[in-house]
Amino acid sequence: MRSHVRRFILILLWTAVYGQHWTPDPYAQVSIGLVWPDGIQRLAAEGYPVEDGWFDREGNFHLPVPGSAVAQLVAEGWKVMVDIPDLTTYFQERNVPAVQREFPLGSLLGNYTLEEALARMDSLALRYPNLVSPRDSIGATIENRAIWAFKVSDNPTQDEDEPEVLYTGLTHAREPLGMMNLFYFVQQICEGYGTDPELTFLANERELWFIPIVNVDGYVYNQTMFPGGGGMQRKNRRDTGCGPGTERGVDLNRNFDYDWGGPGSSGYPCDPTFHGDSAFSEPESRAVRDFILAHDFSNVLHYHAYGNVLIFPFGDGTYPPEPDETTFREIGAAMTVVNHFPVGTGIE
Ligand SMILES: [Zn+2]
């Protein structure tokens, strides 16, 4: 993923060879035959977002990539099969209408649009004023949209002397399930308060903060360009000189300062894992940083929606000092009792 000219030629090639109609964001899911861990490390070094991929039982690695990258992967010598030629269409066709439970779904394949998410925050605060604080802006995005946070606790507008936890969603704009999951959790606390002992304890004795949409601009891009859902913008919307499509932007999940620029991130502005010009170069990552620094969080959970895994620190292959590592493993085991997701560091 290095040069525009090469990419343009490859796009033409892809279109010619596969007879595909060229759309702005023809993301595909490919299956790559590779040897672990060398193959993964090489893919990551080439700028592919390997945490979005997963292995099947035969050891093939499945990954979403721009359509233009398919021919490129082949040219780079990878053994590639196209599982799904157009992920956006795939997501749209796969959607089934409202599961029958008392949880209001949104208009974007069931996910909330930005406007619907804000209305949901407001209605929760209105309906449960003793548990949910009004939303508060913690900063502004590149395109000058507010980034919103709210708190769930008893006496939600007071800063009580209780342990604090932060939950975030949609750092990557194409992973709205992380945001929906948080609203579901909040609703569950509100409805179970006073009857469910564990949820009541959580609200009484903890302060739970939520930033459901970190990457507001990327999400608005997806809902604007693909109002039927399935938009594939991942990064924020900083103009990094890659045209108006999904190649534009900085990967906010590579823009934090810990091991900034390390393996698994890219210095090329059009790659999906572009880390930005410096750590915290982006207003969205700065807003999250400043919010964390202004609080005393015991734990922070960033919800993504790829891979079906629970990843704890650190991403560079090292382990957190004890007792943190054991704590992470214990929390991880408890969190995955039902879904059986693998738990570990990114390398594991
Ligand atoms: Zn993600």
Cα 306 to ligand 1 centre (Å): 6
Amino acid 68: pLDDT: 87
Residues of the chain with pLDDT under 70: 1-25, 97-101
94-108 tens-digit pLDDT: 877 656 568 899 999
Q: How far does the centroid of ligand 1 lie from the alpha carbon of residue 222, in Å?
A: 15
CA of 303 to the centre of ligand 1 (A): 8
Tell me, in angstroms, the distance from the centre of ligand 1 to residue 104's CA. 24
C-alpha 261 to ligand 1 mean position (Å): 17
Ligand 1 geometric centre to CA of 219 (Å): 13
Is the complex ipTM higher than 0.95? yes
Position 149 scores a pLDDT of 98
CA dist 124 and 136 (Å) reads 14
Can you point out the beta strands (E) in 127-246? 136-140, 146-152, 164-169, 207-211
Predicted confidence (pLDDT) per residue in 146-166, tens digit: 999 999 999 999 999 999 999
The domains located in the chain, with CATH, are 4-93 (3.30.70), 101-218+283-307 (3.40.630.10)
- Ligand 1 center to residue 160 CA distance, Å? 32
Query: From the CA of 253, how far away is ligand 1's center (Å)?
Result: 7
pLDDT value of residue 99: 60
CA of 106 to the centre of ligand 1 (A): 21
Q: Measured in angstroms, how far is the CA atom of residue 7 from the centroid of ligand 1?
A: 24
How much is the pLDDT for 290? Answer: 98
Cα(348) to centroid(ligand 1), Å:
17
Sheet of 297-303: strands edge to edge?
136-140, 146-152, 207-211, 164-169, 297-303
Question: From ligand 1's centre to the CA of 19, what distance in Å?
Answer: 31
Q: State the distance from the centre of ligand 1 to the C-alpha of 305, rounded, in angstroms.
A: 6
What's the 200 CA to ligand 1 centre distance in angstroms? Answer: 31
Tokens (6 digits) for 274: 């572009």
CA of 127 to the centre of ligand 1 (A): 31
Buried b (16+ CB within 10 A) or exposed e, 239-252: ebebeebbbbbbbb
Nearest 10 degrees: Cα torsion 12, 13, 15, 17: 160
pLDDT value, residue 155: 96
Q: Pick the closest to residue 80 from 96, 69, 91, 90 (CA basis).
A: 69
Given a contact cutoff of 8 angstroms between Cβ atoms, the answer to whether 1 and 271 are in contact is yes
Distance of alpha carbon 324 from alpha carbon 333, whole angstroms? 14
